[in-house]
Amino acid sequence: MRYAIDQFHAFHSHVFCEGWFSGLANRNACVYVLLDGVRYPAEVELLPRDDLRTAFGPGAEKWGFVLSCKVRPSSPSWYGAVQLVLFDGERELMVEQPAIIPYDAERRGASNAELDFFRRMYEADAPNVLEIGSRKRSGNAKTDRVPGHASYVGFDIAAGPNVDVVGDAHFMSQTLPHNHFDFVFSISTFEHLLMPWKAAVELNTVMKNGGLAFIHSHQTWPVHDAPWDFYRFSKFGWHGIFNRYSGFEVIASEHAEPATIIPKMQMNNPSTFLELQTGYLMSVCLVKKIGPSILSWDADPATIMVTAYPG
């Protein structure tokens, strides 16, 4: 049996799926949704797919489907537990993690940039590694990916687990050695910097020429750690921060974590149709220091934001 999952969504106790299954050419074929050991008969609409006929021959155009199904989750963490059962009239095929298939395809570019960064770190001889926003507090730390032969420094605005140096990223060159780090990474931190362009200039100062930085932030995300939540970045926006003026070259910039954006209040206005477009929760960039920055930014964020970073 052949199949593919092109889209998969779990939302408000409903499962939505689009894809194709070769068994649908048979009259008795069906697709079930399986959750917590319970099979739910799904509403399946056949979707003509001329592209499948081109790829697999006559008859394959009947393999396409769109599925919707109401389920009764037993826990709030039900989303990752949904499975599909494909039945061709004689045999069953279990798809254990249907959401992973389109997910992996959508985030491949971002994954490659991240893998490339850590691969180069592993291959380097005794690299100096800096993590900006290193405090372990939200479960997204990647410190375990730093090789044992590296010299690691965890840098954060506040003291805590995994923090070696406390300081403000807007002034990191005041507390970190200059021209020192071969690799720098930052996970879900740049959106909390009032002036990320200033942080980029500071980053240039503490990195070695030719050093690499991997920056991971949000493209779409609810406001969090307010009021210290300032920006969202598209993959195109990184070029405005990391460029030849700030002393960097962007090697890769990608979106990750595809999402459907649905307004709480839906009416006949442009926002109603956002669900027809793909959004992204994350955005990443891989950059290389190519020389010193020719920029400076003298403003002090502490004179603008008088509160301390929460948490």
Reported pTM: 0.81
Ranges 80-89, 133-142, 235-244, 261-270, most confident: 235-244
Q: Is residue 223 part of a domain?
A: yes
Residues 24, 4: Cα–Cα separation, whole Å: 13
Could you list the beta-strand ranges (E) of 71-196.
83-87, 92-95, 128-132, 151-156, 165-166, 181-187
Residues 64 and 116 in one domain: no
Please give the tally of structural domains in the chain. Answer: 2
Q: Is residue 151 part of a domain?
A: yes
- Angle formed at CA 180 by CA 175 and CA 183, multiple of 5 degrees: 105
pLDDT at 103: 67
pLDDT at 45: 94
The pLDDT tens digits for 135-147 are: 987 655 678 889 9
Q: Is residue 68 part of a domain?
A: yes
Dihedral angle sign, alpha carbons of residues 203, 209, 211, 216: positive
The pLDDT tens digits for 167-222 are: 999 999 999 999 999 999 999 999 999 999 999 999 999 999 999 999 999 999 99
Q: What is the CATH number of the domain that holds 90?
A: 2.60.40
Tell me which of 71, 99, 127 is where a domain ends. Answer: 99
Residues 131, 117: Cα–Cα separation, whole Å: 13
The pLDDT tens digits for 265-278 are: 777 777 777 777 88
The pLDDT tens digits for 33-81 are: 999 999 999 999 999 999 999 999 999 999 999 999 999 998 888 878 8
Residues 284 and 200 in one domain: yes
pLDDT of 32 > 70? The answer is yes
pLDDT at 16: 93
Q: What is the mean pLDDT of the chain?
A: 90
Q: What is the CATH number of the domain that holds 150?
A: 3.40.50.150
